[in-house]
Structure 1
């Protein structure tokens, strides 16, 4: 009976048909784009879609890239386990989108880069570019392994399919359409996969509302279970989720993902104009709001159904990340094909993220490691090299899924990886974009110190997980289960099935202080440490005496909307014909920038 525990049904024939059909459709889009673009053999076409993409598909791809199978599986479990405080990330998404669109996009678009890490060489030095690229490759390989592992776990739970068979199949499908279709295939496949992900959430919420007598009853159950206590203003940085950790730490963490991560930057710089690039991020913000809202409602629906019988405590599932797949088979087994839709939703999120990661890994490897060394490659050689690297990185990501299986809750593990590595990198970019004083020595020193700090805290937190009073798990019960064993407690707080807190005697003094820092503050720690150390070392090593720094490498006030429309009477008007005389094009980001320059601007004076 629904909500009372015990084994659930497995996939029916129609579930397999729906699941296979959706996966084949994704692969088919990749093949279609490959055939459609078969005459375009350039590296720019393969890696950036010829820089002719528009805002809407890029926005959906941006959302799908990191709202992955981890979101489909991990976020509802988060709401079930800890309550709806994760909903506050909607504010973090808004801050992140505005900062990325108004600060980072104009800069990268103006420079016309392919690899994000080109900026580090232009602003600092080539060694820093190579270090940044290497950090990105390690981070992305680890994260992608988690993304592959999460839905494979779901499929294993629901269908009984071999776990490693699913892992390999995931990588194989992504390799096919990444290798053949390039970025256009990735983006247009992401559009389909985004729709499928949202449809999976809607199916769970709709069926749950019918079973529980409406969304009002689900909301009341969540309130009685303490799941709606969202606003916790406790300033304690050791508490896992509070208003401050999510708004401040979460905003910095997501900015480190969207602002400088190659997987995301590669999408918005593929847009045909700067306006489309900015708009893609604001549309993406709306997509993130919708996704996190549906994920939270799915988690609250799950709590309403299992409020009297927790499947984990009752032994029906082995990990928290299997809760939603278990719910799907419990409430949707009477509708053949719908469980297949849900699994396809989790799987689609995985395909979008893995394909995005593979494409981005190829881009940075080619631009940062190969082109500077092999400068005389033909277009055909570059094409085959891109395809070969797609296969290599696809295989690498499959291998990293084995490591991911040891990392516990997929949602927190994924976000922790970004905090530990992307935080110091974001600090390095901000150091270069905002401070003319910073130099290469300061940049590399600051980033190393920032990375050491975040790895120290992050790895320490994995070895010695925070205690229950810092993670704030909410109580659950098995009092209503049909098959509760004699040894099962009737009520119990959440405990992690993967990483158990060791006895207090074995915990070092830092375990309950430094190592218990909220995982959302890892990125902020990396940013602040990198910038502080970098500025100090730069000033000591002659950063204040630097000259001849290109103004294009710094953030301009004219890049931002609020300044672009100010003082129009003082703006120099350049016609399209004049722009062509200066070898500009109307759609070129340089022309867009030029159109809002003051008459006193240095570049205008020179012309």
Structure 2
């Protein structure tokens, strides 16, 4: 399928413009602090848009409409947990990290449990980011390959190098401003797309609601209390834990807290970015539901090969190419790439920060000169960027890249939130009991993540729980084991 020349020009112009804009920050005077936090002088609205863009990835742009097209709005329950997590973040986490004034999210863990906790968490974070960037680049390339026949490795390499150029040359300031622009383009493109679907219905916009209601498309899922199904409560609790992890221990977010001018500005940007995702995710679910109604009303417009349940994620890209006016298609494809590029650029910058602060300066050269710090940041960015490209290409041919990413992220990152909450809430927690809690929690996370992949349905040792509960149970085990063992030891010592 060939992309019309006008759409190709729109898309390529966007890619070139965003790379040049991001790279232009190279010509401003920069220090390592500027590279990491933008000098702590960025406006709250831009930081907020960047937080929003970090929430949204190409996975969200393609998977949320696909999910709504295939089933209902059960996945939107995840977004309903964000306001709760955001309120906790601005009350506790933002003041905590701005008070510590360390560019590393994991320095706090060292103050509570020692150097091992910081090193453990930072390594887990780096592994998570590699898996995340690889999965996003691969999932970004997949629909482009299906729709246009573009080579998956070529798309991955071009996307990865484009992001690397402006992330390295422009530093954190480039990441924030390009994220802000990409967030605006993403929202604009999605709103325009929904409007076109609505007014393309044979009987007008009301037909979308009629068809969707008849097929129960607005359902938020079962309100039962099963632990093995994606009920309303399972998704809500999962969302709460994931978002507490994002706000509490994710370097991507902590750097944004530090980039604001004042504590008040940091709070405003956090609330803006997180709460904006709620209506925008609703918009994506609405697009999926509207597409279902559109192709129910006009079934001849959807080819047979796109009608299977396993093709749901490709229906939205198909509509973008075939259902939008010329020029708009190029903008929407740019929006998909914008979602992926903003997430990748954030991960590259924050990973380089962690390599410098938590590993290089801590273990190799504590008194590093300013120029040497910048050199380490650039080299670390290049290494993480090229490794993520390799991992993205390695994803090519995997049965389900999304499932693989979820399993890897659960194992790599599942233990960090429990350790953070143990240090933040618990008092007089002993290091060795925190470590025991982490070991047991990670073992549980590994069992819940891998046993469904390795063992057949009905096998004795196969986890009966829904995959979304992995981080919930893993976090609770780490927290409770560390807390209870420390409490027993403290009581025994007091006697």
TM bin (shorter chain): over 0.9
Using structure 2 for the length normalisation, give the TM-score: 0.93
Which of the numbers 452, 460, 466 marks the counterpart of 1:509? 460
Structure 1 position 544, deviation (Å): 8.3
Match of 2:418 among 419, 427, 435: 427
Counterpart among 359, 365, 382 of residue 355 in structure 2: 365
Q: Is this contact kept in 1: 2:131–2:409, CA < 8 A? A: no
- CA distance in 2 between counterparts of 1:369 and 1:167 reads 29
Post-superposition CA distance 1:422-454 (Å, at most 9, x none):
332111011001111212112221112111111
Q: Which runs of 5+ in 2 are unaligned?
A: none
Contact in 2 for aligned 1:257/1:418 (Cα 8 Å): no
Q: How far, CA to CA, are the matches of 2:338 and 2:431 in structure 1?
A: 41
Flag the structure with larger Rg: 1
Correspondence list, 1:305-344, <5 A: 305-307=294-296, 308=299, 314=305, 319-332=311-324, 335-344=325-334
Preserved CA contact (<8 Å) 1:174 1:354: yes
Residue 392 of structure 1, CA deviation = 0.9
Equivalent runs, 1:17-32 vs 2, <5 Å: 17-32=9-24
Which of 32, 51, 57 aligns to 1:43? It is: 32
CA 1:45–1:170 in 2, change beyond 3 Å: closer, same or farther? same
The separation in 1 between residues aligned to 2:452 and 2:303, in whole angstroms, is 23
Correspondence 1:61-76 to 2 at 5 A: 61-76=50-65
Q: Is the 8 A contact 2:415 2:475 kept in 1?
A: yes
Q: Distance in 1 between matches of 2:218 and 2:253?
A: 32
**C-alpha deviation, 1:215, in angstroms:** 2.9
Paired position in structure 2 for 1:232: 222
Distance between the aligned counterparts of 2:215 and 2:251, measured in 1? Answer: 41
Correspondence 1:128 to 2:143: no
Aligned partner (choices 446, 462, 480) of residue 437 of structure 2: 446
RMSD: 2.3
Answer whether contact 2:356 2:377 (CA < 8 A) is retained. yes
2:272 to 262, 269, 283: 283
Who is 2:475 aligned against? 527
Q: Is the 8 A contact 1:11 1:158 kept in 2?
A: no
Shift of 1:509: 3.2
Residue of structure 2 in register with 1:604 after alignment: none
The answer as to whether partners of 1:146 and 1:410 remain within 8 angstroms in 2 is yes
Shift in Å, 1:414: 4.6
Pairing partner for 2:105 from 103, 112, 116: 116
Tell me how far apart the structure 1 counterparts of residues 379 and 492 of structure 2 sit (CA, whole Å): 45
- Which residue pairs with 2:338 in the alignment? 348
**Partners of 1:544 and 1:440 in 2: CA distance:** 17
Which residue of 43, 46, 49 corresponds with 1:60? Answer: 49
Find out whether 1:261 has 2:250 as its counterpart.
yes
- The worse-fitting range, judged by mean Cα deviation, of 420-429 and 18-27 is 420-429
CA separation in 2, counterparts of 1:320 and 1:404?
20
CA drift of 1:66 comes to: 2.5
Q: Give the whole-Å Cα distance in 1 for the aligned partners of 2:111 and 2:274.
A: 30
CA pair 312-117 structure 1, distance change in 2 beyond 3 A: farther
Q: How does 1:566-577 map to 2 (within 5 A)?
A: none
Q: Distance in 1 between matches of 2:109 and 2:121?
A: 8
- Deviation, 1:395, is 0.3
Distance, in Å, in 1 between the alignment partners of 2:443 and 2:319 is 41
Q: Supply the distance in 2 between the matched residues of 1:276 and 1:230 (Cα, whole angstroms).
A: 34
CA contact (8 A) 1:200 1:345 kept: yes
Residues 74 and 410 of structure 1: is their aligned pair in 2 closer, same or farther, counting only changes over 3 Å? farther
2:180 pairs, out of 184, 191, 194, with: 191
2:389 equivalent in structure 1:
398
Q: Which moved more, 1:353-362 or 1:63-72?
A: 63-72
